[in-house]
């Protein structure tokens, strides 16, 4: 298929340019393993690549991507917990210093939740999506109700932001995350990238609002630090 052929062509470009330019770094990563200090939990959306948004080099970020950048709450059972396993590995093994939940505007998963198109669907026909998005269903319902009262509310945008807050709260339900945050060895951050205008907004812990990052924005002077 032509789509896969384009991937192979891209690999050849990478192998003959970027890989050569960063050969020393790749050799070090291959021999010494990874030691990223940041974990990013992002959406699987093909339009939002966190390594491009943050302009990072190989080995700098441990990245987990899923539908709508969601984190489920801590549930210590025998289920298959892909997100929880990745988070556990990042915090207890890699000992990352930051976990960033990176949402984005115009998220398809958020739109699906808001429309309710997969509510009650059978697995294999949208049921997996519906069950996954049920994590934010209570917030969706509250925002729907608020939008009915105030039609000027951008309900989709509000739910995109609220989903980030929910994931951060769920992260804090993991005992090893709560312990690391209390010890000051781990910080949780929330951010949203707008694919239309390229603006990144970061959750300010003092105000609880998402504030845009300007080109002269300094984390050291921000209330998050």
Instruction: Dump the DSSP string for 83-123.
Output: HHHHHHIIIIIS--SEEEEEEETT-HHHHHHHHTTTTTPPT
Average pLDDT over residues 198-215: 89
31 C-beta neighbours (distance < 10 Å), count: 7
Range with top average pLDDT, 47-61, 88-102, 116-130: 88-102
- Residue 68 DSSP label: G
pTM, 2 dp: 0.89
Residue indicated by tokens 């990072």: 56
pLDDT digits over 171-180, tens only? 999 999 999 9
Here the tokens at position 121 are 């669907």
- Report all structural domains of the chain as residue ranges with CATH numbers, in order of start: 1-33 (no CATH), 34-221 (3.40.1050.10)
pLDDT digits over 15-62, tens only? 888 888 788 878 887 888 888 999 999 999 999 999 999 999 888 999
């Amino acid at each position: 298929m032509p789509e896969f052929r384009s991937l192979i062509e891209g690999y050849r470009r990478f192998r003959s340019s970027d890989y050569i330019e960063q050969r020393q770094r790749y050799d070090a990563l291959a021999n010494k393993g990874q030691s990223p200090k940041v974990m990013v939990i992002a959406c699987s959306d093909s339009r939002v690549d966190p390594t491009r948004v943050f302009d990072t080099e190989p080995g700098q970020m441990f990245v987990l991507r899923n539908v709508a950048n969601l984190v489920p709450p801590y549930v210590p059972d025998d289920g298959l917990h892909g997100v929880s396993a990745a988070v556990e590995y990042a915090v207890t093994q890699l000992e990352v210093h930051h976990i960033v939940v990176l949402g984005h505007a115009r998220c398809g998963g958020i739109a699906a939740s808001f429309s309710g198109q997969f509510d009650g669907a059978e697995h294999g026909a949208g049921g997996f999506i519906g069950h996954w998005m049920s994590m934010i269903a209570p917030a969706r319902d509250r925002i729907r109700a608020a939008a009915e009262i105030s039609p000027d509310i951008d309900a989709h945008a509000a739910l995109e932001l609220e989903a980030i807050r929910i994931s951060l709260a769920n992260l804090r339900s993991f005992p090893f995350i709560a312990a690391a945050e209390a010890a000051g060895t781990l910080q949780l951050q929330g951010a949203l990238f707008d694919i239309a205008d390229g603006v990144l907004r970061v959750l300010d812990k003092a105000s609880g609002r998402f504030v845009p990052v300007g080109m002269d924005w300094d984390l050291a002077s921000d209330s998050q630090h």
